[in-house]
Structures are given as C-alpha cells and as structure tokens.
Amino acid sequence: MRKSSISPDKDGSTPSSGSEHYISSDSQEHQSHLEQQSKEPELETIHSTLAHGGLSREPTGRSTAASSSTHARWWRIRLFRGMVHDIKRRAPYFLSDWTDAWDYRVIPATVYMYFANILPALAFSLDMFEKTGMNYGVNEVLLASVLGSVVFACLAAQPLVIVGVTGPITVFNYTVYDIIAPRGTDYLGFMAWIGIWSLIMHWIIAITNMCNGLTYVTRFSCDIFGFYVAFVYLQKGIQVLTRQWYSSGDTSAYLSIMVALLVLMSGWVCGEIGKSSLFHRWVRKFIEDYGTPLTIVFFTGFVHYGRMRDVEVATLPISKAFFPTADRAWVVKFWELEVGDIFLAIPFALLLTILFYFDHNVSSLIAQGSEFPLRKPAGFHWDMFLLGITTGVAGILGLPAPNGLIPQAPFHTASLCVTRHTADTTDDNKGKVVRVIDHVVEQRLSNLAQGIMTLGTMTGPLLIVVHLIPQGVLAGLFFVMGVQALEGNGITQKLVFLAQEHSLTPAAHALKKLERRWAVWLFVGIELVGFGATFAITQTIAAIGFPVIILLLIPVRAFLFPVVFGPEEMRALDAPTASAFVMESVGGVHGYEDEEEGEGEDSAGGDHAVPDLERGGSIISQDQSAGAGAGAGLHRRHPGQESL
C-alpha cells in the first residue's frame, strides 16, 4: 500500500492524516499498464496543477510504471515548464508574502541581515579594490547587494534567500583580472560581456528545466561547499588582520587582533545565551536577536577610549556617495570591446554560470532546509531566470554579480523562526525541555528592507559612519559567521562524533548504530578531500576553475557512493538538504523517491525524530540529524496552512 499525494483544501491547508487516501497495488499495476500503452507517454510522472490557491499533485513521485517511458524519451525537453509551474505554485501566496510580514520576527531578522550582509560585503570590496586595479569598491558592492535584494525580495519564488556579493565571486573577479589585465583588455568591459553571456546561459538553464539536476544534490555536496565558504570567511578575517602590519604598524595590528577576538567571543556568547535556559525568555531572545549588531556598535566606539584612542586604527575605506569608485559612468562601455575579447568571455561566463548554478541553488536549499517547517512552495527554475537578469545587469553597470549568500541565507530563515519549548519524550532526554520550531515567518519584507537600508548606506552621512568601523571589528564578524557556519555543518558534526569517546556516545546516535565504523571515517575523508581540493585551487591562478570541482561532487555522491556504502550507511551519513515539499519544484530527491513523508520512522539523516507535536491544528515533527548535519532529517509532516 502506498499513499497518494493530498490536495490542499480551499484555504491551502493539508488535510489531517485521517483523511489520507490509499491506492491498492492492483490498481497501480492496472494504471501502469494503461500508461505504458498510451500513444504519448508522459516524460515525468509528477503533474502539478493549481487548485484553489494551492498545489495539487497526481500520485506518487516517480513510479516504476512510467520509468520505461521516461528513459525511452529522455531527450524530450518541455521548454518553460519548470518556470511556469514555479509561478503557478508561488503566485497564490504573493499577497500573503506581504501581509504575513506583520510579525515581530521581521524586525530582528532585518537588522541582523543588514549587518551580516553589508559588513562582509564591505570587506570583500576592500579585497577586490586592491586586487582588481581599483575597479570595484564600496559603492559597487553595496549597489550589487541592493540589486539582488530588491529583485529577489519582490519577484523571486524563494524570497527568504539573501542575495549579495559572496566570497567565491570575489575570488572569481580578481582571478579574471589577473588573467585579463596583462593583455591590455578593458577589465570592466570584459566583465560586462561575461555577465551578458552568463545571462543567456542562465536563461537556457531556466527554460530547459536544468535545475531538475538539483534532484541529485544532497547534504554531502552542500556540507562540503558550506565548509569551504566557512573557511573563506575565516581566511578573509585573518587576511584583514595581517594587512594591519603593513598599513598601520604593530600597535594597531595587535589592537585589531584583540578587538576581533573580543567580537568573536561576544557574538558566540550571545548565540549560546539564546539557546540556553538563562534569564527570562524575552531577555534571551533580545540578546540572541540583537547581540551581534550591538557588539559591532560597541566595539566601534570601544577603540576610542583610554589609551586606545591614541592608536591609529585602520577603518573601512569609502568613496563618494552614489558614484563609481573609478572615474567612469555607471554604464560600462562594453560595446567598445574588440570582437575577439567578446568571444573570449564565453568560457569565463560558462565557469561563472556553473558557480552560480551550484552556489545560488545550494544557498536556496540550505535556506529552506528540512529543519525549517516551511508552508510555502519553492521555485528554483524561476529564480535561476531572475539570477540571469541580475548577473547581466550587474555586468553592464560594472558591479560584482550578486547571488545567494552562505551562511547569510540560512541565518535569515533561522532568524525568522518562531520557537517554543516543550518536553522531550525520547529515551535519552526524557523529561528535558527542548526548543522546537513552531513555524517560520515566510515573507518578503525583511529581505527588501535590508536591501533598502543598504541603499541608504550609500548616502554621504552613512558612508561616514561606515568609515568609522575598525577593520578589526570587521575581522571579528568574519570569525563569528565562520564559526557559526562550522557549528551547524555536517562535516563538523561527524568529526565531533569520531572524536568522542565511544562508550559515552548516546546509543540512539545514528552513526553509532553502523556496524562498519570505518565507513564514517571514509565518508568524512572524502568530504575533506573535496573541501581541500576546492580550497587549494582557489589559492592559485587556476582558481577560475574551482566551480568545476564543486560540480563534480554531485555525480560522485549520486553514482559512486551507492557502490561503496550500503543503504543503511547512506541513510545515516547523508540526507536530502530540503524536504520533499521544497524539492517538488525539481521533481524530488534522487534515491529517496520511495520514502514517504509524515512517518514516525528514523530520519534519513540519522538520529531519531521527536514525536509529533500537535498545536493549533499544526503537526510538526522536529528532526535532528547528528550524522548529516543539523536538521537534516528527511521525514517531517508538513503542517497545514495557518495564520502567521
């Protein structure tokens, strides 16, 4: 017996488990026989239709009945189908995306995202300013962040994803400069053509439904990329500090190191207090929500007290308000580039497209991870189309191309979570109070608001305020974000498990149940090799090709791992990044088609599932995956629609 999918009611809610329908195996075989004899068999077995403001799906993921016709006609491409379905799924929620923003959680999320987005972006601008011949500066990076946030907040199917300037695109930009500048080619004109060609490639990906390839992306690839990005943040923080010896002297350098470490300690303590039982709940939430921004403000003034005020501390460089860093117009004269250089930009555009295909979609997957009880559907194809627009426009304006941010995107979703405390009923922690996510405030306002605040930062008075921030504070924020990203990463959690004394590890731990402990070592070793190869190549002139290494991780996991590891081991070591509900946009997750949602079984990511918690008609199963990353559980009963 197998469950059929359940169509939402008129209000968009999912019927209770008591109203689930079942299809007998005989009926399925008969239906399959008819489908095989059909004159025009369908390429896919998932049919999405708009029904009363919700999503109605025909039964069962990828059935074996239609698999023969699918393989027989794999070449059939239904152009625009993915984008059309994304729009149909998300359009009914567009109004509620704005009305649901009437929630307190939007305020701390906006403030936190403003600082978490703008300060690293400013540090990246400092990096690119020095390594791209002063073509990219503060205003270019800020405007790129504004472009991404406004477009995706207003038009995207996944508005929770924060878009801005990332570490990988910074590496890409100055590597292109190192290759092109010696030829005498106009750098910004060449980058404009990279953006234009990449726009075309993004549109081809969106139109031909190539985002369906995300069905092969699991926690394995996301953890490696997230691990890499976390180390990029740590590396950038160290680079900011080491520059102090050359620009400001020994005293300033040591003061900057002290400030950076104090910012790291303060930010980490604020996060830990938020997760603890100390103080009143509202005090904990205030410290958790505003602790990091207030830490930045405090230490910006801290260096001006006592004997420290006599020390010349390096601060962030700024330029004239709303003007490009270089002496040029905002629109790049890309039409003046030689024809040979125009076509030379194509392979660079291909590499940029590969990077964005993986980076942006992984950001979207992690921001909508299975640990977040989301109620509104995702749309990867449509967002890839929008990303092409922002990439092309950024190139023409002489801006670094924005895309999905890690770890800011998942941090944004986490900051919008409404939590509550309940008693844990599991054997190991029975009676203890645990914090669970009740729901996520899914809306567009916080993303848009932080973008508008970033635009306001480009004004003269606020640029002066930005100029007051010591670079040591900036380095400390890099450390905070890097450490926070590592804490929730699956690689880190597996390493912690391997370092624990075996006898003291809880018996219910998914990885402890594995007969072959060396399988964990092998899995983690492969992850570290993938991370090491990615990180190593970015330190060389060959850094332009690092997106290819990242892309190769996907087939390794999809086709090699099932040969090396057994099914039980794969369920403990890996899991889908997002829930089946989120992955509907790309047709589910490869290898998990037969898994059903809403079961009280162990999650594919490892550990055990906390029993369902019923509250106000909403049922949430809070999965934790110690093996595959925090909240990486596969099974979570999707809650019915309710007012946020």
Which pLDDT tens digit goes with each residue over 337-366?
A: 999 999 999 999 999 999 899 889 988 988
Strands 618-620 and 613-615: antiparallel
Residue 580's alpha-carbon distances to 259, 585, 635, in angstroms, are 44, 9, 9
pLDDT of residue 73: 54
Instruction: Tell me the three state secondary structure of residue 264.
Output: helix
pLDDT of residue 469: 86
Instruction: Tell me the three state secondary structure of residue 131.
Output: helix
Amino acid letter for position 387: L
Average pLDDT of the residues in 501-526: 83
Q: Residue 141 pLDDT > 80, yes or no?
A: yes
The number of C-alpha atoms within 13 Å of 501 and in the hemisphere containing its C-beta is 2
Average pLDDT of the residues in 288-309: 85
Assess whether 129 and 71 both reside in one domain. Answer: no
> Which of the four pLDDT bands, split at 50, 70 and 90, describes residue 591?
low
Assess whether 244 and 117 both reside in one domain. Answer: yes
pLDDT of residue 431: 64
In a domain, 587, yes or no: no
**CA–CA gap between residue 458 and residue 318 (Å, rounded):** 9
Average pLDDT of the residues in 456-461: 86
Assess whether 380 and 448 both reside in one domain. Answer: yes
> Which of the four pLDDT bands, split at 50, 70 and 90, describes residue 214?
confident
Q: Convert 274-332 into a string of H (helix), E (strand) and C (coil).
A: HHCCCCCHHHHHHHHHHHHHHHHHHHHHHCCCHHHHHCCCCECCCCCCCCCCCCCCCCC
Assess whether 187 and 310 both reside in one domain. Answer: yes
In a domain, 611, yes or no: no
Assess whether 201 and 318 both reside in one domain. Answer: yes
Strands 22-23 and 2-3: antiparallel
Q: For residue 462, what are the domain limits?
A: 96-573
Q: Summarize pLDDT for 56-72 with one digit per residue, the tens.
A: 333 333 333 333 444 44
**CA–CA gap between residue 499 and residue 485 (Å, rounded):** 20
Residue of higher predicted confidence among 604 and 571 = 571
In a domain, 627, yes or no: no
pTM score, whole prediction = 0.76
pLDDT of residue 426: 66
Q: Are 639 and 633 in contact (CB under 8 A)?
A: no
In a domain, 439, yes or no: yes
Instruction: Tell me the three state secondary structure of residue 618.
Output: strand
Q: Summarize pLDDT for 463-506 with one digit per residue, the tens.
A: 888 888 888 888 898 898 889 888 888 899 899 888 888 777 77
Assess whether 390 and 295 both reside in one domain. Answer: yes
Assess whether 450 and 542 both reside in one domain. Answer: yes
Assess whether 134 and 257 both reside in one domain. Answer: yes
Q: Summarize pLDDT for 368-398 with one digit per residue, the tens.
A: 888 888 999 999 999 999 999 999 999 999 9
96-102-106-107 Cα dihedral, nearest 10 degrees: 160
Average pLDDT of the residues in 178-206: 92
Average pLDDT of the residues in 156-180: 89
Assess whether 254 and 112 both reside in one domain. Answer: yes
Give CA 140 to chain center in angstroms: 23
Burial track 98-109 (b if 16+ CB lie within 10 A, e otherwise): eebbebebbebb
What's the number of domains the chain is made of?
Answer: 2
Q: Residue 9 pLDDT > 70, yes or no?
A: no
In the structure encoding, which two tokens stand for residue 494, read together? 């597996």
pLDDT of residue 146: 93
pLDDT of residue 553: 83
pLDDT of residue 634: 29
Give CA 225 to chain center in angstroms: 10
Average pLDDT of the residues in 104-124: 86
Q: Residue 232 pLDDT > 60, yes or no?
A: yes
Amino acid letter for position 10: K
In a domain, 155, yes or no: yes
